[in-house]
């Protein structure tokens, strides 16, 4: 799953890896259909007309159909009431053709996101944001896991195999990436440290890491002297840099140019972690479908 740009740099190709995940999903969807006459279904709810969200939702729907699953898209007006949105989620919870429900975030200010997430049936919560799934993950139980950290873990396991005993440092403590990433690495027997805005000696802590995951949303924050030689660096950040009279460019939370020659392996931005997120959403939907029907979930697609 890696390409080599030079003798020292190993670039983890998220596009190639995501394609392999989608193929595994597609194969299992065919198996479910042929052996059990079941077709997994993913419902995506979009509130409002945010252009970036619209593109993202279109991509999700397209990839859902490409792997043979059903795609249910619900586009609601920006002014929709909270009660109307909650009523829709109740209907999706009860729909036997829907195995995964995703409500695109952020939601308008007049809608309580926590209330919406809490309304999604735990077994259909393919974003892994419901407090029950969060608690199950922390307790070491089967849980639907947030897609981005799941993608990071799958890449790490593909690269290293057994992660036992490795020292992992995560930069950032968000509920979407940092915290679930820590739980996943603990589950795989790493020694885990999470650093954040209140941490002291962040650079020195990062220098110890065999696995360094940057998920803080600060452009090129992680510099070469933060990284131990040979470390694996997973860059979750997506930051748009705008310069006068120059086309905007996307960069990660890692200063790629300076870190690349030092790291043993590194994900680029774009083309690293990003493509894995939708692939893992599809994987979570298949996993949810299997569990709902008391069938074995596919190996290699979960935590």
Q: What pLDDT digit, counting tens, does each position of 171-223 carry?
A: 999 999 999 999 999 999 999 999 999 999 999 999 999 999 999 999 999 99
- Active site annotation includes 247: no
Q: Binding site, residues?
A: 172-174, 238
**10 in active site:** no
Average pLDDT, the chain: 94
Domains and CATH numbers, the chain: 37-122 (3.40.50.10860), 146-276 (3.40.50.720)
SS (H, E, C) 155-223: HHHHHHCCCCCCEEEEECCCCCCHHHHHHHHHHCCCEEEEECCCCCCHHHHHCCCCEEEECCCCCCCEC
Question: How many whole angstroms separate alpha carbon 83 and alpha carbon 225?
Answer: 51
**pLDDT of res. 9:** 63
List, for residues 103-134, the tens digit of each pLDDT value: 999 999 999 999 999 999 999 999 999 999 99
Known binding positions for NADP(+): 172-174, 238
Give catalytic status of residue 127 as yes or no: yes
**Which one of 13, 125, 127, 210 is the catalytic residue?**
127
Question: In whole angstroms, what is the distance from residue 79 CA to residue 84 CA?
Answer: 10
291 Cβ contact list (under 8 Å, min separation 6)? 123, 142, 297
Q: How many CB atoms lie within 10 A of CB 97?
A: 12
pLDDT tens digits, 41-93: 999 999 998 888 888 899 999 999 999 999 999 999 999 999 999 999 999 99
CA distance 89 to 198: 37
- Percent of the chain residues past pLDDT 70, beyond the cut: 97
pLDDT of residue 186: 97
Is pLDDT above 50 for 6?
Answer: no
Query: Which pLDDT score is estimated for 4?
Result: 43
SS (H, E, C) 56-107: HHHHHHHHHHHCCCEEEEEEECCCCCHHHHHHHHHHHHHCCCCCEEEECCCC
Would the pLDDT of 30 be above 90? yes
Catalytic residue among 13, 24, 63, 104: 104
pTM for the model stands at 0.93
Helix (H, G, I), strand (E, B) or coil at 240: strand
Measured between alpha carbons, how far is 152 from 145 in angstroms, rounded to an integer? 12
* CB-based burial label for 270 (10 Å; 0-12, 13-18, 19+): middle
């Amino acid at each position: 799953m890696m390409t080599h740009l030079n003798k020292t740099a190993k670039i983890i190709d998220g596009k190639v890896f995501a394609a392999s995940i989608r193929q595994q999903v597609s194969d299992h969807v065919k198996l479910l259909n042929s052996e059990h006459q079941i077709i997994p279904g993913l419902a995506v709810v979009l509130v409002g007309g945010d252009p970036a969200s619209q593109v993202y939702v279109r991509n999700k729907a397209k990839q859902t159909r490409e792997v043979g699953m059903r795609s249910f898209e619900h586009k609601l007006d920006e002014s929709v009431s909270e009660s109307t949105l909650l009523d829709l989620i109740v209907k999706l919870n009860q729909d036997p053709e829907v195995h995964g429900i995703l409500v695109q975030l952020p939601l308008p200010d007049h809608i309580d996101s926590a209330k919406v997430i809490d309304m999604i049936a735990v077994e259909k919560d393919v974003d892994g944001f419901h407090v029950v799934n969060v608690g199950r993950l922390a307790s070491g139980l089967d849980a639907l896991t947030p897609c981005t950290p799941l993608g990071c873990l799958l890449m790490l396991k593909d690269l290293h195999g057994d992660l036992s005993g490795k020292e992992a440092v995560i930069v950032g403590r968000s509920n979407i990436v940092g915290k679930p990433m820590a739980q996943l690495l603990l589950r795989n027997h790493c020694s885990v440290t999470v650093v954040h805005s209140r941490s002291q000696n962040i650079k020195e802590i990062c220098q110890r890491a065999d696995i360094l995951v940057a998920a803080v949303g600060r452009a090129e924050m992680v510099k070469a002297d933060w990284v131990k030689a040979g470390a694996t660096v997973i860059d979750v950040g997506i930051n748009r840099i705008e310069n006068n009279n120059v086309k905007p460019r996307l960069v990660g939370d890692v200063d790629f140019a300076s870190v690349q020659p030092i790291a043993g392996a590194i994900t680029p931005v774009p083309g690293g972690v990003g493509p894995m997120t939708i692939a893992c959403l599809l994987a979570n939907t298949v996993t949810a479908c299997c569990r709902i029907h008391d069938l074995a979930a596919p190996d290699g697609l979960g935590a």
